[in-house]
Amino acid sequence: MKNPHENFIDVQHVSTLFPSRRRGHPPVVAVDNVSFSLPANESTLLTIVGESGSGKTTLTRNLLGLTPPTEGQVLYQGKDIYSMSHEEWHHYRRDVQPVFQDPYATYNPFYRIDRVLQVPIHKFGLANSRKEARQLIDEALEAVDLRPSDVLGRYPHQLSGGERQRIMLARIYLIRPKLIIADEPVSMIDASLRTVFLNMLHDLRDNYGISCIHITHNLATAYYLGGDMMIMCRGQVIEQGDMDTIIDQPQHPYTQMLISSVPSPDPQDRWERGHTSESATEIAELKTEANACVFAGRCSHVMPTCQSHRPELIPINAEQETACFLYDQDVKPVDDAKEMVREKVNSAGYS
Ligand SMILES: Nc1ncnc2c1ncn2[C@@H]1O[C@H](COP(=O)(O)OP(=O)(O)OP(=O)(O)O)[C@@H](O)[C@H]1O
Ligand code: SF4
Ligand SMILES: [Mg+2]
């Protein structure tokens, strides 16, 4: 196993439970034993995809230090982010920057846009004079295709959603973190501006080595960004690997369902249709068996083993891992079926 210090971020067996909103129901397992790493010396684009309620935002909050996991650890250069010193935390907050879904909600409506860019300059000591600060702000705005004279001095409500989201990227450009964590960053901006925004994530990686964890429920947006992909189903990672490989040859029945439920050739349309109508709470609370496959309740290939064991991620090829017993050599569906019949006969009292 790799020494964790070789990695920039290590998510180790993170689980996050919330008390159920329904009386007498067991806790909701929002994130279920998730592990992954981002290497220190290469820039990565990782998209986490899943339906509503699959735990994407909770995992994001675990990573940003906003919601401590119930179990497991998030390590930054080998240190648990939830037990860092004040100084280490300051470094982490500079290295790891969020971009949220609704740019308007992240702005204070009473302050001009300028403040969003001035605060990090002050907080992280990026400039030595007012003049230098202004130069940095102009450069950052131009880097995201905004004219300083068009946006400076204005209030958040006077800008479009796309402009507000671009200001967030200008902020990222100023701070130059090592990692952006973007939770549904384009879901509230016009389709025409989505690609502009996603292209900027590419530019930040290619030109400044800034990695990105991109969270979305939209397969088309995920596919456009490219890179690596992690598919979450009810808190668990059920398939992961190279984006193109997974989209071309999805192995897990859940991934196959997600892809087949977006039949339109229009990529933006495909994305929206991938969203299920079940409520987030319903999906999460369907799961009651900790030792069953998280997709067993909806899987057309379900075998008896799936109801009593939890599949782990296993490599399918060099580019892809899947958590499904269909690919486990040790599981023999025929034997399982015989076992199921035997159990039914026993429970009916014939033996
Ligand atoms: N603070 C909370 N208290 C109780 N339950 C919560 C809380 N936050 C999230 N949950 C539950 O945890 C599960 C995962 O929620 P989460 O918001 O992480 O999903 P998501 O994948 O981001 O969904 P969406 O695509 O709708 O944003 C859901 O069942 C949700 O209701
Ligand atoms: S483990 Fe079983 S229930 Fe789960 S996805 Fe695979 S075949 Fe379906
Ligand atoms: Mg979310």
Is residue 17 within 8 Å of residue 88, measured between CB atoms? no
Both 247 and 331 in one domain: the answer is no
Whether 105 and 185 map to the same domain: the answer is yes
Q: Tell which of 237, 256, 288 closes a domain.
A: 288
Across the range 283-304, mean pLDDT stands at 78
Does this model's pTM top 0.75? My answer is: yes
Confidence bin at 346 (pLDDT 50/70/90):
low
What average pLDDT does the chain have?
A: 86
Residue 96 CA to ligand 1 centre (angstroms): 22
Does residue 172 sit in the same domain as residue 275? yes
Residues 231 and 260 in one domain: yes
Which range scores top for mean pLDDT: 84-98, 104-118, 177-191, 323-337?
84-98
pLDDT at 220: 87
Same domain, 276 and 295: no
Tokens of 55: 């735990």
Mean pLDDT value across residues 326-346? 61
Residue with the smallest CA separation from ligand 1 atom 6 is: 18
Surrounding ion ligand 3 within 5 Å at CB are 56-57
Q: Are residues 284 and 247 in the same domain?
A: yes
CA of 118 to the centre of ligand 1 (A): 33
Residues 6+ away with beta carbon under 8 Å from 102:
188
pLDDT digits (tens, 9 = 90+) for 13-22: 999 999 988 8
pLDDT at 292: 92
Q: Tens digit of pLDDT for each residue in 15-59?
A: 999 998 888 888 999 999 999 999 998 899 999 999 999 999 999
Residues 49 and 117 in one domain: yes
Residues 293-302 pLDDT 10s: 999 999 999 9
CA distance 285 to 265: 33
**Ligand 1 atom index nearest CA of 215:** 22
Number of domains making up the chain: 2
Lowest mean pLDDT among 127-136, 221-230, 242-251, 330-339: 330-339
Least confident of 40-49, 184-193, 231-240: 184-193
3-class SS letters over 256-282: HHHHHCCCCCCHHHHHHHCCCCCCHHH
Structural domain that includes position 76? 4-288
Same-domain pairing of 28 and 169: yes
57 and 92 within one domain? yes
Same domain, 82 and 145: yes
Kindly give the distance from the C-alpha atom of residue 278 to the centroid of ligand 3, in angstroms, as a whole number.
14
The mean per-residue pLDDT over the stretch 274-285 comes to 44
Q: What is the pLDDT of residue 234?
A: 93
pLDDT at position 331 over 80: no
Query: Which ligand 1 atom lies nearest to the CA of residue 101?
Result: 27
DSSP string, 4-46: GGGEEEEEEEEEEEE--SSTTPPPEEEEEEEEEEEETTS--EE
CA count, 13 A, side-chain hemisphere, 309: 16
Tell me, yes or no, whether 284 and 198 share the same domain: yes
Q: Tell which atom from ligand 2 comes closest to the C-alpha of 238.
A: 5
Spell out which residues line ligand 2, taking CB within 6 angstroms: 252-253, 293, 295-296, 299, 301-303, 306, 311, 324-326
